[in-house]
Structure 1
């Protein structure tokens, strides 16, 4: 059967990745927060000196709640190493977009996470890491130093990307193994990713979305001990079916998560709906 024709009620049958449904975007946010604290506590209990999370920025909302809970309950994140998945760049050879840009992931993390935390509870600045276009080995070096990634948290793009690992463009060819070994790097974003990001962040102004970004690679994601994915966009309905029931192919980057020994999806009900054509 074509994965795109699988009904929501049958989506679990033969799925190649474990998942569960939750009601809506608020439930997704709450689950992310709960998982964040549970995984941090589990890693510390297992004896980890530093707990390493790869974290996304969007969808937004969770970091404010995490910071508030830490402050309220005196939960220290001083042993947390944050590897942000990605960031927009001004050009292929340029640096990060300005922190003054509303699209800046650096700015978002500062405004909605680090800046809200009691400084005594916050990760030190040297444990707040973005992949660096001018020092692209900084993420692999940090992972070697701190014993690898405990959990990679993330979402899925309309192309099936995880972080900004978009599928090969027409004329580009990667085997599954080659794609799985792609490291942290500077990338040119696909037209599809820029377009959908413009819908969610800039009122459809695709020209406002940068053409380039720096991203952690599929290699770093797949080498994480655990992967936790959260999906809450209606336009993810088709892609989630390809990921759960389709073949492992570079053209659907997140399908490579089928090879991971500890991956789990949390999906809002609307994402489970059948992706049927409908004029609106």
Structure 2
């Protein structure tokens, strides 16, 4: 007796996106943990999956990778554009640490935050609000870098006025030789940024879907709200906005490299990200599951070993 056998007529029958094949998702999650790194035909040749034993290891490795890419672009004399998340976050203190150790200033770095809480019209929280993503970035990355930091006019946040300008700015930077690197986590709903899976219903083809650069005041899925209530608001659902401004696949699919992180363990054997990780790695590219496109790009995805499972009932 399981979800597929009992969903008909239940309150969840039309809850998940219409394009989700739950049997296929379950098949992705049924593989032995030790097979998670087996390369799939749709993975990019330069896509790497990197295991970590604990969150601290993941934070260091992701932070090092971000700092290394900044260092390399500096040494090569070119600009670099980053699409940046607020979550995972632990890597930023290590990126700051390595950049300071190497004395690499970030005058050549352009930061584009991938999303921000909003209302239906796209109005966002003020930047000094502790719940805003801009506040989090200033506190975790831009501020601690001190004199080495990214120039203020090269920091972009997903506000009503700024987000629609991302596409042209990134196009210009790439035309001038800059690489685009997307740093990302994978949502419970397999979203990238707040580009949600139910948006897939609005498009007749993956090609049309893949051209969408952003969305203002996007409607978030209920499970996205609950994920953020658990991971960012200490379970207090009433603090979580129901909408957000977000980049779309028209931007993150342009990435020259990606740096991903899955650290969704909750302690005492509980986790929320195993299904999302396995589906991303096994399902194959599908607009109803945005994260499934990330293995098609060059780069690295760091993950906690325990997320590999086995994903089955735990009676302990």
SS for the counterpart of 1:168 is helix
Distance 1:72 1:4 in 2: 41
Distance 1:77 1:182 in 2: 29
Name the residue aligned to 1:12.
37
Name the residue aligned to 1:197.
228
Out of 228, 241, 244, which is 1:213 matched to? Answer: 244
Aligned-pair RMSD on alpha carbons?
Answer: 2.2
1:278 is displaced (CA, Å) by 3.6
Q: Which has the larger radius of gyration?
A: 2
Distance 1:188 1:59 in 2: 22
SS for the counterpart of 2:238 is helix
Deviations, residues 259-279 of structure 1 (Å, cap 9, x unaligned): 33x133111112111221346
Q: Does 1:97 align with 2:125?
A: yes
1:164 is displaced (CA, Å) by 0.8
SS for the counterpart of 1:58 is coil
Q: Does 1:271 align with 2:271?
A: no
1:240 is displaced (CA, Å) by 1.4
**Contact 1:132–1:138, Cα closer than 8 Å, also in 2:** no
Distance 1:176 1:126 in 2: 34
1:74 is displaced (CA, Å) by 2.5
1:209 is displaced (CA, Å) by 0.6
Change (3 A) 1:188 1:279: farther
**TM-score, structure 2 normalization:** 0.80
Number of equivalent positions:
276
1:246 is displaced (CA, Å) by 1.1
Distance 1:263 1:75 in 2: 22
Match runs of 1:30-179 below 5 Å: 30-48=60-78, 50-89=79-118, 91-119=119-147, 121-147=148-174, 149-168=179-198, 172=202, 174-179=204-209
Distance 2:38 2:111 in 1: 35
Distance 2:76 2:142 in 1: 25
Distance 1:203 1:34 in 2: 28
Structure 2: 5+ residue stretches without partners: 1-23, 265-270
Deviations, residues 43-86 of structure 1 (Å, cap 9, x unaligned): 234441x2111111112222233334434542211111111111
Structure 1: 5+ residue stretches without partners: none
1:153 is displaced (CA, Å) by 1.0
Deviations, residues 176-222 of structure 1 (Å, cap 9, x unaligned): 22322221221111111011110111222222111111111111101
Distance 1:111 1:163 in 2: 20
1:245 is displaced (CA, Å) by 1.1
Distance 2:152 2:128 in 1: 19
**Contact 1:86–1:164, Cα closer than 8 Å, also in 2:** yes
Distance 2:204 2:130 in 1: 34
Distance 1:176 1:135 in 2: 26
Name the residue aligned to 1:257.
294
